[in-house]
Amino acid sequence: MNMPQEPDLSYIGPRDKAEILAQALPYIRQFHGKTMVIKYGGNAMTDPALQADFAEDVVLLKLVGMNPVVVHGGGPQIETALNRLGKKGHFIQGMRVTDEETMEVVEWVLAGQVQQDIVGLINQAGGKAVGLTGRDGGMIRAKKLTLTDRDNPSINHDIGFVGDIVSIDPSVVKALQDDAFIPVISPIGFGEENESYNINADLVAGKLATVLQAEKLLLLTNTPGVLDKAGNLLTDLTAREIDGLFADGTISGGMLPKIEGALDAAKSGVNSVHIIDGRVPHALLLEILSDQAFGTMIRSH
C-alpha cells in the first residue's frame, strides 16, 4: 500500500509552527497517560490519504504519551467478499443475517484483511500496532443476539452468529499498552461453545472504553456529527439531552447503534465521547489536541 506524499509545510514560518505546538501542549499534558478508544470506520478507512492521516494521528498520540486503542468495523469489505463468493446479503431491521458460512467470511475479512491493513498502516507510520480479535486473551465473551421485532415484540428474529457482549476482559489490551504497542481490535467475540460472533463495532468500542476507564471514546463517521432536525451540527450534548433526541426521533437509523454505544460509555464513566467527521484530514488530532470541534461531544453530565 503506497503512502501518499507528505504535505509541504515549508510555507509555515517557524513562529507559526511554534504557536501550533504551544497550543497543543496543554492538551498533551492533560491527556498524558490516558486511554483513548477510537472506533475507526467510514471514509477514513477507505480513502488512502485519510488512511495515512489516521495512522499518523494514532502514532503521534502514542508518542506524546497517550494510549490509543483502535476498534474497527468493515461492513463494505465484508459485502465485497460475500459478493465475490456469490452470497447475497440479507438484512433484518438493519442487521446482517449471519449464517455459518457468512460468519467464516466475516472473520476472515475482519481479522485478516482489514485488521492487517490497519496494523500495516500504523507500523508504516512509525508505530508498533498489534492485531487482536475478541478471542485473544479471552477478551470478548459473547452470546447470540436476540432481535425483537420492531412492530410485534412477541416475535424474535434469528439472525445467526450476531453477538451481544456478555463481558470484556481488557487484560491483554492493558499488557500491550504498557509495552508501547497500539492494539487494533476486530469486533469478534466467542461463545460458550467456542463459536464466533460478529458484534457491532460501535458497541465494542463503547464497552471497551468503559472497562478500560478511557478518558475519551472517539467514533469516526461519515457525517459531521449529530444534527438537529434543521440539519445543524450539535457540538456539545449531555447524556440527558441525547435521551431527548432519541425520544423525539431526531436521532434514528444508522446513527442509533453509534449513539447508544456512545451514551452507555458516557453514562458509565468515560469522560467524553466524540462523534467526529472522519472525512476531515487529521480529524483525530484536531479533536484531541485543539479546542476546535469537528463533531459532537457527549458529556456524561
What's the confidence (pLDDT) of residue 11? Answer: 66
Residue 158 in grid coordinates: 434469528
The string of pLDDT tens digits covering residues 158-190 is: 999 999 999 999 999 999 988 899 999 999 999
* pTM for the whole structure: 0.90
The string of pLDDT tens digits covering residues 21-59 is: 888 899 999 999 999 999 998 778 888 899 999 999 999
Band of residue 251 on the pLDDT scale cut at 50, 70, 90: confident
Residue 235 in grid coordinates: 457540538
Residue 145 in grid coordinates: 443476539
For the chain, the average pLDDT equals 88
- Of 207-216, 229-238, 253-262, the range with the highest mean pLDDT is 207-216
Judged against a pLDDT cut of 70, whether residue 226 lies above it is answered with: yes
What's the confidence (pLDDT) of residue 109? Answer: 95
Judged against a pLDDT cut of 50, whether residue 9 lies above it is answered with: yes
Is 120 part of any known ligand binding site?
Answer: no
What's the confidence (pLDDT) of residue 112? Answer: 92
Measured in whole angstroms, the distance separating CA 14 from the mean position of its chain's CA atoms is: 35
DSSP state of 200: -
The answer to whether 192 and 167 have CB atoms below 8 angstroms apart is: no
Helices marked H in the chain — which ranges?
14-31, 48-63, 75-84, 100-108, 115-124, 171-178, 201-211, 239-247, 255-267, 283-289
Residue position matching grid coordinates 495512522: 55
Is 137 part of any known ligand binding site?
Answer: no
Angle between helices 100-108 and 75-84 (to 10 degrees): 120
Instruction: Identify the residue with better confidence: 259 or 132.
Output: 132
Judged against a pLDDT cut of 70, whether residue 7 lies above it is answered with: no
The answer to whether 27 and 20 have CB atoms below 8 angstroms apart is: no
Instruction: Identify the residue with better confidence: 252 or 68.
Output: 68
- Of 4-13, 155-164, 262-271, the range with the highest mean pLDDT is 155-164
Q: Which residues pair with 132 in a beta bridge?
A: 185
Distance, CA of 251 to CA of 249 (rounded, Å): 5
| Listed residue (186, 187, 56, 41) closest to 121, CA to CA | 56
For residue 238, count other CB atoms closer than 10 A to its CB.
14
| Listed residue (171, 51, 178, 67) closest to 119, CA to CA | 51
Residue position matching grid coordinates 507500523: 123
Judged against a pLDDT cut of 60, whether residue 6 lies above it is answered with: no
What's the confidence (pLDDT) of residue 264? Answer: 85
The answer to whether 165 and 139 have CB atoms below 8 angstroms apart is: no
Helices marked H in 153-279 — which ranges?
171-178, 201-211, 239-247, 255-267
Judged against a pLDDT cut of 90, whether residue 289 lies above it is answered with: no
Residue 191 in grid coordinates: 461463545
Band of residue 4 on the pLDDT scale cut at 50, 70, 90: very low
The string of pLDDT tens digits covering residues 190-224 is: 999 999 999 999 999 999 999 999 999 999 988 88
Band of residue 63 on the pLDDT scale cut at 50, 70, 90: very high
Distance, CA of 236 to CA of 58 (rounded, Å): 24
What's the confidence (pLDDT) of residue 232? Answer: 84
Distance, CA of 124 to CA of 127 (rounded, Å): 7
Q: The dihedral of CA 125, 127, 130, 134: what is its sign?
A: negative
Give the domains, in start order, of the chain with CATH numbers.
32-299 (3.40.1160.10)
Is 74 part of any known ligand binding site?
Answer: yes
What's the confidence (pLDDT) of residue 294? Answer: 74
Widest CA span of the chain, in angstroms? 67
What's the confidence (pLDDT) of residue 8? Answer: 56
